[in-house]
Amino acid sequence: MTTVGDELARYRAILKRDKRYDGKFYFAKTTGVYCRASCPALHPREQRYTFFDTVSQAKASGYRACMRCHPDALQTDLSLEILDKIDAGVINDSGVHGLADLLHISERHLRRVVHDATGTSPTNINQVRRLTAAKRLLVQTKLPIIDVAFRAGFSSLRQFNDVFKHAFSVSPGQLRKASRHSTKDTSTTLALGKLSGRLLGRVSLKQLSS
């Protein structure tokens, strides 16, 4: 819900054409188009606007994208920036709220953007990222399992073991042992496929692990 204070801040951002607010909100005019905050078009001070948090909300309300500022390109840019930050381990260090603060958006808005782009949550994406990294380290290196856990972003060995076994139905040690006997562990591959399908929806595991 947008408060009066938020609305005033948005009006100021529009009048100043403040690029820092691009992708943080969108506004629609009586002309039937929606814009980004820094849109170069003239904006009468007395005009009232309708505000939206996402492109999909503006489109669902019947507005079309402004041909001058192309606000529809921003949603993709923001979602990619969020996914890049998740891939860099920001959620491991600061949580979803910390990631939202880093990007100067609300946690609710962040979750909505990620869900619109991927069909799942930031937490689920981060979980698959950690498990994918852990699996790679177990199979391709001789690092001790505790080192694998911390490098993959888990906070403790116990947490790593519990999450890994729940996802793959084998322990990290069992997976490593199996990988030494076969370069193509069919059961592990199937487990990873089931995990990605359950957690990620439309997000490809290849995209997250590349």
The ranges assigned to domains in the chain are 4-72, 123-209
Secondary structure element (H or E) that encloses residue 195, with its range: helix 186-200
Q: Does domain 123-209 have CATH number 1.10.3470?
A: no
Same fold, 4-72 and 123-209: no
Tokens coding 30 = 């009586």
- Tens place of pLDDT for every residue, the chain, 210 residues? 444 457 888 888 898 888 888 888 899 988 899 998 889 887 766 578 889 988 888 999 999 999 888 888 766 677 888 888 998 899 998 999 999 888 877 888 889 888 888 889 999 999 999 999 999 999 999 999 999 999 999 999 999 999 999 998 999 999 999 888 765 544 544 444 444 444 444 343 333 333
Domain 4-72 in this protein, CATH class: alpha beta
Q: Which pLDDT does position 183 carry in this prediction?
A: 53
DSSP-derived 3-state class of residue 28: strand
Under a CB-based contact definition with an 8 Å cutoff, are residues 54 and 25 in contact?
A: no
What is the reported pLDDT for 200?
A: 44
pLDDT of residue 201: 42
Q: Residue 45: its pLDDT value, please?
A: 64
pLDDT of residue 46: 56
Residue given tokens 């030494």 in the structure block: 180
pLDDT for position 108: 85
